């Protein structure tokens, strides 16, 4: 129950400063809008690159919001209390990543189809885009959570966080984008989404332990 | 296991490595000279690829050794996290730039080989892309281990990263088998024996050994330097 309380606390903290989430979503929109502006408004080309652009932008947006994930708790001492708490630190790490997913992954999955519409994706591709983001973003939140925990108290932690997390996020990006690609060419997207789900489950099964280990050594 | 505990004392390790290194440098230089002469002069040009096949003598050893190097980082990371082995962090810090350099040499020689063979310096093929990621994983490890004012903190953070990042190594290893792309399939370590002519295989295996010796020598030398640097750091903090 304490874990649920931690999860709700994180959500409430975000709720009181909605600007933090708005900035991340605004970044996502602006980053995606740059592509038609830079490449030109040719509809076929835009529809072809939409999947990759939206996924890569979602990746960057979720990186952007991660550097505060544990930093605030680290600075004000709440992390020390989490370390001393009688329940497993792994669950606390999971709760915080889950809260991060609810305030970034979920809104991104809702917002992305709107942008996809502007890129000229068809209805089926839009639905698959939302599905891949729903299935894939939990993995991004967990991988990013590990990078955020590892860089606590480091110099230039923001840039370092991206350097650590992005290579580990590449499989998620590849299978997320290829599911939409497959839909566009009339193939089945199920295999790609299944692999994406497998990646998310592997992240779920392993990374909370790695994050907890990183938090413990940050607390020492 | 016994060796693991024997070297738990950095001073003891330093005495050992100072005794071994001079001999190791001589053997390494000899092995590299023989290997390079064998590969670049004696070995016959390939019937298909001509003289460009000689790039292989640098490309293949650096490829295997940079992957093995990342596994070494993961093993050192695990022994730092599990047994708090005092030398593991120092050695990981010494090994990461060597591994990154091998990965870079592998990428560069690969693209120089790709130009005459495939007509392009770079393609987004599974093996090449995953190798580029390995290079970035090395860079992340190097940057993270040096991002803290407290070196030991950096060593432990990098250790966790190395253990998690090791997942990528089998993906690189098998990417050629899983995705059928431009890169040729595995030709040395495969069932049914190597699919490569002995006149090229032997110098290649020799070069693998020579480059492995160079890797070990560089890591030992850098570990010694790292021990000295850590002592200086401690001395500075005591003032």
**In the structure, what pLDDT confidence band is assigned to residue B194 with cuts at 50, 70 and 90?**
low
Higher-confidence position of B189 and B205 = B205
Given a contact cutoff of 8 angstroms between Cβ atoms, the answer to whether B219 and B95 are in contact is yes
Cβ partners under 8 Å of residue A13, min gap 6 = none
Choose, out of B73, B131, B147, the residue to mutate when testing the contact with A (most A CBs < 10 Å). Answer: B147
Q: Do A164 and B148 touch (CB under 8 A)?
A: no
Q: Do B144 and A150 touch (CB under 8 A)?
A: yes
Mean pLDDT of B216-235: 91
Cβ partners under 8 Å of residue A203, min gap 6 = A138, A139, A142, A143
Helix orientation angle between A43-64 and A157-184, rounded to the nearest 10 degrees? 150
pTM, 2 dp = 0.87
pLDDT of residue B179 exceeding 70, the answer is no
Mean pLDDT of A85-100: 90
pLDDT for A189: 85
Least CB–CB distance from A210: residue in B143, B149, B164: B164
B15 touches chain A (CB under 8 A): no
pLDDT of residue B26 exceeding 80, the answer is yes
Residue in chain B lying closest to A164 (CA): B140
pLDDT for B200: 80
Interface confidence: ipTM more than 0.95: no
Condensed to tens digits (0 to 9), the pLDDT of residues B123-142 reads 777 777 778 889 999 999 99
Determine phi and psi for B8, rounding to 5 degrees.
-65, -20
**In the structure, what pLDDT confidence band is assigned to residue A39 with cuts at 50, 70 and 90?**
confident
Determine phi and psi for B124, rounding to 5 degrees.
-90, 60
**In the structure, what pLDDT confidence band is assigned to residue B75 with cuts at 50, 70 and 90?**
very high
Q: Do B160 and A217 touch (CB under 8 A)?
A: yes
Residue in chain A lying closest to B82 (CA): A213
CA distance A26 to chain B (A): 28
pLDDT of residue A95 exceeding 50, the answer is yes
Q: What's the rounded Cα separation, in Å, for the pair B130 and B124? A: 9
* β partners of residue B50: B46
CA distance A18 to chain B (A): 31
CA distances from B230 to A134, A165, B89, B166, B237 (A): 46, 28, 11, 27, 11
Q: What's the rounded Cα separation, in Å, for the pair A209 and A105? A: 21
B139 touches chain A (CB under 8 A): yes
Residue A88's H or E segment, with its range, is none
CA dihedral B133, B138, B144, B150 (to 10 degrees): 170
A160 touches chain B (CB under 8 A): yes
> In chain B, what residues touch A156 (CB-CB under 8 Å)?
147
Condensed to tens digits (0 to 9), the pLDDT of residues A150-198 reads 999 888 888 899 899 988 888 888 888 888 888 877 788 888 899 899 9
Q: Do A217 and B153 touch (CB under 8 A)?
A: yes
For chain A, state the CA radius of gyration: 18
Name the nearest CA neighbour of A204 among A74, A95, A57, A59. A95
Count the alpha carbons within 13 Å of B145 in the hemisphere toward its beta carbon: 26
Cβ partners under 8 Å of residue B108, min gap 6 = none
Q: Do B139 and A163 touch (CB under 8 A)?
A: yes
Least CB–CB distance from B147: residue in A154, A207, A220: A154
pLDDT of residue B217 exceeding 80, the answer is yes
pLDDT for B183: 60
What letter would DSSP give residue A67?
G
Q: Where are the alpha helices (DSSP H) in chain A?
A: 2-16, 19-39, 43-64, 71-76, 78-84, 89-100, 106-118, 123-150, 157-184, 190-219
Condensed to tens digits (0 to 9), the pLDDT of residues A52-84 reads 899 999 999 988 888 888 888 888 888 888 888
Mean pLDDT of A20-30: 90
pLDDT of residue B47 exceeding 70, the answer is no
What letter would DSSP give residue A33?
H
CA distance B133 to chain A (A): 6
Higher-confidence position of B213 and A16 = B213
pLDDT for A78: 85
Residue A210: strand, helix, or coil: helix
Q: Do A170 and B133 touch (CB under 8 A)?
A: yes
Name the nearest CA neighbour of B85 among B15, B196, B5, B153. B5
Q: Percentage of residues in chain B with pLDDT exceeding 70? A: 84
pLDDT for A186: 79
Given a contact cutoff of 8 angstroms between Cβ atoms, the answer to whether A63 and A161 are in contact is yes
Mean pLDDT of A10-23: 85
pLDDT for B180: 45
Higher-confidence position of B72 and A47 = B72
**In the structure, what pLDDT confidence band is assigned to residue B1 with cuts at 50, 70 and 90?**
low
Residues, chain A, total? 220
Transcribe chain B into DSSP letters.
-HHHHHTTSHHHHHHHHHHHHHHHHHHHHHHHHHHHHIIIIISPPBTTTBGGGGGHHHHHHHHHHHHHHHHHHHHHHHHHHHH--HHHHHHHHHHHHHHHHHHHHHHHHHHHHHHHHHS-S----HHHHHHHHHHHHHHHHHHHHTSSSSHHHHHHHHHHHHHHHTTHHHHHHHHHHHS--SSPPP-SSSTTS--S-HHHHHHHHHHHHHHHHHHHHHHHHHHHHHHHHHHHHHHHHH-
> In chain A, what residues touch B163 (CB-CB under 8 Å)?
210
CA distance A3 to chain B (A): 24
């Amino acid at each position: 129950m304490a874990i649920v309380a931690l999860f709700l606390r994180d959500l409430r903290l975000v709720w009181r400063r909605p600007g933090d989430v708005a900035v991340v979503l605004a970044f996502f929109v602006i980053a995606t809008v740059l592509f038609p502006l830079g490449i030109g408004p040719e509809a076929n080309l835009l529809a072809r690159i939409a999947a990759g652009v939206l996924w890569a932008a979602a990746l960057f947006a979720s990186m952007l919001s991660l550097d505060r994930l544990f930093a605030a708790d680290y600075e004000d001492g709440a992390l020390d209390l989490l370390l001393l708490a009688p329940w497993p630190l792994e669950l606390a790490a999971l709760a915080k990543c889950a809260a991060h997913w609810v305030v970034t992954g979920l809104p991104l999955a809702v917002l992305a189809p709107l942008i996809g519409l502007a890129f000229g994706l068809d209805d089926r591709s839009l639905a698959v885009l939302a599905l891949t983001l729903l299935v894939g973003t939990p993995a991004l939140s967990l991988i990013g959570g590990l990078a955020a925990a590892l860089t606590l108290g480091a110099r230039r932690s923001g840039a370092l966080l991206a350097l650590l997390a992005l290579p580990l996020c590449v499989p998620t990006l590849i299978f997320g984008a290829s599911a939409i690609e497959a839909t566009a060419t009339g193939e089945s997207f199920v295999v790609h989404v299944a692999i994406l789900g497998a990646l998310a489950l592997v992240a779920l099964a392993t990374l909370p332990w790695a994050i907890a280990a990183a938090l413990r050594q940050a607390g020492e | 296991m016994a060796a693991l505990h024997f070297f738990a004392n950095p001073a003891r390790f330093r005495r050992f490595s100072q005794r071994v290194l001079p001999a190791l440098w001589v053997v390494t230089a000899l092995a590299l000279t023989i290997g390079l002469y064998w590969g670049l002069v004696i070995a016959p040009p390939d019937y298909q690829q001509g003289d460009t096949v000689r790039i292989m003598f640098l490309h293949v050893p650096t490829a295997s050794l940079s992957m093995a190097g990342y596994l070494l980082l993961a093993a050192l990371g695990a022994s730092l996290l599990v047994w708090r082995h005092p030398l593991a962090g120092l050695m990981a810090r010494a090994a990461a730039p060597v591994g990154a350099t091998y990965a870079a040499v592998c990428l560069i020689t690969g693209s120089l080989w790709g130009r005459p063979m495939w007509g392009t310096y770079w393609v987004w093929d599974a093996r090449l892309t995953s190798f580029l990621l390995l290079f970035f994983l090395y860079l992340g490890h190097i940057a993270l281990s040096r991002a803290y004012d407290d070196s030991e903190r950096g060593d432990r953070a990098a250790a966790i990263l190395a253990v998690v990042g090791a997942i990528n190594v089998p993906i690189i290893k098998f990417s050629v088998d899983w995705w059928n792309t431009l890169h040729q399939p595995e030709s040395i370590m495969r069932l049914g024996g190597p699919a490569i002519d002995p006149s090229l295989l032997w110098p290649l295996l020799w070069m693998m050994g020579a480059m492995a010796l160079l890797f070990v020598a560089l890591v030992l030398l850098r570990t010694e330097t790292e021990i000295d640097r850590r002592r200086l750091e401690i001395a500075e903090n005591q003032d």
